Structure 1
Amino acid sequence: MSTEKSTPQLLAPTRSPAVRFWAILLGLALIGLAIIAGREIILRGDPNLGWPSWVDPIAAELAANSYQPWMTTAAIIAVIIGIILLIVAALPGTSRYIQLTSPNTDTSIWARPIDLARSITANAKLVPGVQAATTTVRKNRIKLTVKAEATADSAKVEQRLAEKFNANLEELLIAEIPLEITVEQPEIAASQHVPEVHND
């Protein structure tokens, strides 16, 4: 009987484009320019407003046809931004999903790292001796941190967690992601204050 995982060759969830952040910045910049243009249109329509123009000084500076030091700086910044945008536009988007095993080749199952982390955390809290748990899922590591109960043996708690998750994750995930388990023992006061009793 074959134990190989079923890896359906179906389309992965749509990735968020790498240029998305820069596109948002460019959109905000264009909105800012539109606001400035709208302000100038209102100012031209009603000169009695008394608003100082933001465009006229720039236009006058450019119309003077004289070199200014800021022009070189602006040109260099424009070139750098253009190069960055070209590089980012060619980069593939980052995948925010982890592929899970599928019962057949007709179905592709994916999960967000946060969903996988929540599932692991919820199941970890069911393990005897675990008081609290948190999970962080990355592409190359799953980190499970639990706080053991005061009366629990940390080594046994870690062993139970390893037995519960190692085999399950190996069967669940298409790509193997190592699991790192950390068991924290709650701090217990080394000594307790006992009030003194004085006999008269």
Structure 2
Amino acid sequence: MTAPHDHPAPTTRDVADEPAAGPVAFPGAAVAGGLLAVLLLVGCGLLVRDLLAEAGVIDGDTWVHRAAVALGTQTWTTWMWAVPIGCAVIGLGTLWLALKPRRRTHVMMADHPIVWTRPVDVARRISAAVSDLPDVRHAVTVVGRRRIRVLVTATGPVDSERVAQSAREAAGSAAVAHRIGVKIRRGVRS
């Protein structure tokens, strides 16, 4: 018989066979939501100020009530078209921010579909591997969507095919671009 304070043992499962959603960038709608929250807080502050003025805690007239009365007595004029047009533009912009796809921030490792890495980490790995080649003084790598660019500063003759092969091997199973561009600066001495 088990005691009431005993908990069942947790079960483990392998998630390697399950599809994993890739990491994506911060949603643009969050920024718009933050701005809307600030505007609502300002509105709440105005209402609290009017409540204090109505209660006699502070001197002065209520601002929100005065603005509502002033707007209620207005008649339609051509400048007022700016308000619905502005509201439509803001609404469409917020809708676009909510629906636009977020860009991927990581690349998948082909041999492990649940493991992701940043493109900058792949670039650092390639730069380190290329820097270990003979006569290579320094290497800078940029991993883009379509290609990988490797800029090599050499102190002697360096084979660009060997640099490209080293970059391919260093990228390993990262699902990055297969086109590798190599640019070599020759004759630079330390």
- 1:164 counterpart = 2:170: no
Alignment of structure 1 residues 62-101 onto 2, 5 Å: 62-101=71-110
In 1, distance between residues paired with 2:35 and 2:129?
Answer: 43
Number of equivalenced pairs:
172
Task: Provide Cα deviations, 1:39-61, integer angstroms capped at 9, x if missing partner.
Answer: 45235425686689764564243
Map 1:16-165; keep pairs closer than 5 Å: 16=25, 20-42=27-49, 44-45=51-52, 55=64, 58-102=67-111, 108-149=114-155, 152-153=156-157, 156-165=158-167
Residue 117 of structure 1 contacts residue 137 of structure 1 at CA under 8 Å; is this kept in 2? Answer: yes
Where relative contact order (Cα < 8 A, 6+ residues apart) is larger, the structure is 1
5+ residue gaps, structure 2: 1-16
Deviation at 1:67, TM superposition (A): 2.0
1:172 Cα deviation after fit: 1.9
**Residue 175 of structure 1: CA displacement?**
5.8
Q: Take 2:132 and 2:22, find their aligned partners in 1: how far apart are those partners? A: 31
Gap runs ≥5 in structure 1:
1-7, 189-200
Q: Normalization by structure 1: what TM-score?
A: 0.67
Shift of 1:75: 0.9
Task: Report the counterpart of residue 14 of structure 2 in structure 1.
Answer: none
- Going from structure 1 to structure 2, the CA distance change for 1:178 and 1:68 (only over 3 Å counts) comes to same
Deviation (angstroms), 1:85: 2.9
Q: Contact between 1:130 and 1:157, CA under 8 Å: does it hold in 2?
A: no
Deviations 1:104-128 (A, max 9, x none): xxx5322111111111122222122
TM-score for both structures, normalised by structure 2: 0.70
Identity score, percent: 22
1:178 equivalent in structure 2 = 179
Alpha carbons of 1:131 and 1:57: their partners in 2 closer, same or farther (altered >3 Å)?
farther
Change (3 A) 1:121 1:97: same
The change in CA–CA distance for 1:174 and 1:26 in structure 2 (over 3 A counts) is closer
Partner residue in 2 for 1:196? none
Find the aligned partners of 1:54 and 1:158 in 2 and give their Cα distance: 72
Give yes or no for contact 2:153–2:186 (8 Å, CA) kept in 1. Answer: yes
Aligned-residue Cα RMSD (Å) equals 3.3
Give the AA of the match of 2:138: A
